Structure 1
Amino acid sequence: MADEWKAPDEKADDKSWKLLEKAVLAGVQEQRRSRRWGIFFKSLTFLYLFGALALFSPLLDRQKGAVGGGAHTALIEVRGMIADQENASADNLVGSLRAAFKDAGTRGVIMRINSPGGSPVQSGYVYDEIRRLRGEYPNIKLYAVITDLGASGAYYIASAADEIYADKSSLVGSIGVTAAGFGFVGVMEKLGVDRRLYTAGEHKAFLDPFQPAKPEETAFWQEVLQTTHRQFIESVKQGRGERLKDEEHPELFSGLVWSGEQAVELGLVDGLASSSQIAREVIGEERIVDFTLQETAFDRFAKKLGAGVAEHVALWMGFQGPVLR
């Protein structure tokens, strides 16, 4: 006798699907949990290494210094813009200079310069410190060696040295002061934009590029620049003394730049030579030790991997955008 047909048990089917759904969801949740724990432990390891670098990095001297001791020529690099928070900031350069002069093995100091200049304040700090150190250590001479460029604030610093050298094709000088900006008044008028500015003080916004320049304020700002220029000239004259040919060449302080060869004739530099030549032939110590402040491993690590830290922390905390799985 044929088996009787039985209708499927809908309740049993429904129960099976629910169990299957729960199993799948449990698997997905477990994967997510494992992934989050993985991110957590990776981030923890990363932060541990980051902290270890932060802890031990100060123990690694940021100055290369005189490894192994002995007589040497100390070298300090002046590269790029002279400004606060830059590699060629006054803090960095002054720290390097003090370490170089203080080292018992130093027989002479070379500042190798390749810079377009920068802040007159930062340059002035370094200039004053060089003069002070030269007085404190009279037996240690400091030589400025200009490579590609020694202009404006960079030459300001160089003029404090005992002697200045350059390559025949170096660019030297630019003894002047500049302040630049833009004026957008005409553009705003064409666009129909109305500038609304509220100040307390008649001249508080005299450098605002969206306001018309007033003759009396322009004259005032020019006077500020002239004062800074005069200070620059006085410092250069104090440093270079009678070696300058400024009476024969009144354009010396006009902001022009000259080649190294021309700079010798003008008294801006004392001769044409490289750092190794000065160390070998003038100072008499061919061994050069770099005292330039360097970025620590922690600094480099932070710059390169800082974005990675932020990304991992964001993922760990649940701040994540759309992701394809």
Structure 2
Amino acid sequence: MVNRPNVETWPLIRRLPPVVSVVRLQGAIGAAGTLRGGMTLAGLAGPLYRAFKTPRVKAVALAINSPGGSPVQSALLAQRIRDLAREHDVPVYAFCEDAAASGGYWLACAADQIHAHPSSIVGSIGVVSAGFGFPELLRRHGVERRVYTSGEKKVILDPFEEEDPDDVARLKGIQADIHEQFKAMVRERRGGKLHADEADIFSGAFWTGQRAFELGLVDGLGEMRSTLRGIYGPRVRLREVPIQRKLFGRIPIGGRSTPAADTGGGTWTGDVLAGLEERALWGRYGL
């Protein structure tokens, strides 16, 4: 076995400023389909790994600005962050920007400390599913809908059929399962810090960063640079880890850029609808 010297004990290395890697987790969380271009483990595994492998890294900072999205991708990303933190023995700090809501807060819980701006939107620990019903539309226009399945539950909550109470009950059961997983994550990461009844914390409500601090959902109020300078000193260097996105054309919707067309065969109409759906996610929080 070769004994490798601990370079951090060398005088020159000791005089170098501490480094904090910054990973920006921004936008809706989700894979393909209606949330094309959203945050996924496949897209962020590389940047997260590089963040923890940055030379002389003392911590990893997550700049979170997300209204949520896929619970599966939220859980996968949070688990990868925790795994890397343990493997490399590096602390993680989350900084909530406009919003760390729903799946965005799930990501924040992967950090050892969570900080927010007093006006950030934080929380929304719940599960939601939304859609539309058009049971009269086809009949009014003389259109016959034809759907063939093998398996009586293959199609549920068809927007062109009357709502079936059994389908609604099935969906609510799935939502309850996912909600329990979300609550378990928050209890594991924040259990001893929460200052309110679980009925309120897990109701799906959301709060400002100031109120979230009072409830114990976040550990402190402040933005990234000043907070990390307070922890690691004024010489700390924040190194942002670049994240490559797919090449999209972009159409501004509601003041935010959203995918318009991609090189993988996506349609202009589908991507506009995707943009509207993401806009709706932000709209739940008045953003």
User: If the TM-score is normalised by the length of the shorter chain, which range does it land in?
Assistant: 0.7 to 0.9
Other-structure match for 1:28? none
**1:19-77 deviations in Å (ceiling 9; x for gaps):** xxxxxxxxxxxxxxxxxxxxxxxxxxxxxxxxxxxxxxxxxxxxxxxxxx963111000
Q: Is the 8 A contact 2:115 2:221 kept in 1?
A: yes
Q: Is the 8 A contact 1:108 1:283 kept in 2?
A: no
Other-structure match for 1:232? 182
Gaps of 5+ in 2: 1-15, 250-258, 264-287
The RMSD of aligned alpha carbons is 2.4
Indicate the structure (1 or 2) with the bigger Cα radius of gyration: 1
The structure carrying a bigger helix percent of its residues is 1
Cα deviation, residue 241, structure 1: 2.4
Other-structure match for 1:116? 67
Other-structure match for 1:158? 108
Letter matched to residue 80 of structure 1? G
Q: Match for 2:28 among 69, 77, 81? A: 81
Aligned residues: 233
The CA distance in 2 between the partners of 1:172 and 1:228, in whole Å, is 19
The structure carrying a bigger strand percent of its residues is 2
The CA distance in 2 between the partners of 1:174 and 1:145, in whole Å, is 17
**1:139-166 deviations in Å (ceiling 9; x for gaps):** x210000011111101001011000000
Letter matched to residue 268 of structure 1? L
- Map 1:248-263 → 2, pairs under 5 A: 250-263=199-212
Other-structure match for 2:279? none
Letter matched to residue 240 of structure 1? R
Q: Is the 8 A contact 1:83 1:90 kept in 2?
A: no
Q: Is the 8 A contact 1:75 1:110 kept in 2?
A: yes
**1:244-287 deviations in Å (ceiling 9; x for gaps):** 2242x522111111000000011110010111012211234521
Q: Is the 8 A contact 1:73 1:283 kept in 2?
A: no
Other-structure match for 1:281? 230
Q: Match for 2:171 among 218, 221, 238? A: 221
Cα deviation, residue 231, structure 1: 0.6
The CA distance in 2 between the partners of 1:283 and 1:86, in whole Å, is 34
Q: Is the 8 A contact 2:37 2:245 kept in 1?
A: no
- Map 1:50-69 → 2, pairs under 5 A: none
TM-score by structure 1 length? 0.66
Letter matched to residue 71 of structure 1? P
Other-structure match for 2:99? 149
The CA distance in 1 between the partners of 2:215 and 2:199, in whole Å, is 10
Q: Is the 8 A contact 2:125 2:201 kept in 1?
A: yes
Letter matched to residue 115 of structure 1? S
Gaps of 5+ in 1: 1-68, 308-325
The CA distance in 1 between the partners of 2:166 and 2:55, in whole Å, is 56
1:209 aligns with 2:159: yes
Other-structure match for 1:187? 137
Cα deviation, residue 179, structure 1: 1.2
Other-structure match for 1:272? 221
**1:168-194 deviations in Å (ceiling 9; x for gaps):** 011101111111111111233333433
Cα deviation, residue 211, structure 1: 1.7
